[in-house]
Amino acid sequence: MKRNLAKQLLFIVTFFLLTTASQAQYLWNNDSAFKAGQSNSGRLWGYVFGDYYVKGHSDSLNRGGNNQYTGIPKNRNAFAFRRLYLGYDYNITSKFSAELLLAAEDNFPAFNPPTATNTAASGDELLNNKETFFIKLANVRWKNIWNGTDLIVGEQVTPAFPLITEKIWAYRSIERTISDIRRTPSYDMGAGLQGTFDPKTKNFGYDLLVANGTSDKPASNSFKWFYGDVYAWFLDKKLVIDLYADYQRLNWQPGWHHDRQMVKAYIAYTTPALTIGAEGFINTIRNDTKATKIGGGADTINTAAQGLSLYVHGNIVPGKLRFFARWDGYNPNNNVNTGKYSAYAGLSSPNGYNSPGAKITYNASTGAPSAAVATTDITSKEMFITAGLDFTPAKNVHFMPNIWYSHYASQLSAGKFADYDLVYRMTFYFVFGK
Q: Give Cα separations from 145 to 90, 110, 139, 192 (angstroms).
A: 18, 42, 16, 12
Between CA 308 and CA 314, with CA 312 as vertex, the angle to 5 degrees is: 165
pLDDT of residue 357: 38
Beta strand segments in 159-203, E: 187-196
pLDDT of residue 248: 95
**Beta carbons of 273 and 314 less than 8 angstroms apart:** yes
pLDDT of residue 370: 46
- Set out the domains of the chain in order of their start, with CATH numbers: 39-432 (2.40.160.10)
Per-residue pLDDT tens digits for 345-355 = 777 643 333 33
CA atoms of 434 and 43, how far apart (whole Å): 8
List of residues 6+ apart from 77 with CB closer than 8 A? 52, 53, 54, 55
Q: H-helix or E-strand containing 34?
A: helix 31-35
DSSP state of 336: -
**Beta carbons of 187 and 156 less than 8 angstroms apart:** yes
**Beta carbons of 364 and 356 less than 8 angstroms apart:** no
Residue 367 phi/psi, 5-degree rounding, is: 80, 5
pLDDT of residue 283: 95
CA atoms of 249 and 238, how far apart (whole Å): 37
**Beta carbons of 105 and 123 less than 8 angstroms apart:** yes
**Beta carbons of 64 and 332 less than 8 angstroms apart:** no
Per-residue pLDDT tens digits for 231-279 = 999 999 999 999 999 999 988 988 888 899 999 999 999 999 999 999 9
Strands 419-432 and 341-346: unpaired
Q: H-helix or E-strand containing 258?
A: strand 256-270
Low-confidence ranges of the chain (pLDDT < 70): 1-30, 66, 107-125, 348-377, 413-416
H-helix segments, 170-236: 178-181
347: left (phi over 0), alpha (psi -120 to 50) or beta: alpha
DSSP state of 29: I
CA atoms of 226 and 159, how far apart (whole Å): 10
**Beta carbons of 311 and 269 less than 8 angstroms apart:** no
Nearest to 176, CA basis, from 82, 99, 247, 258 = 82
pLDDT of residue 210: 98
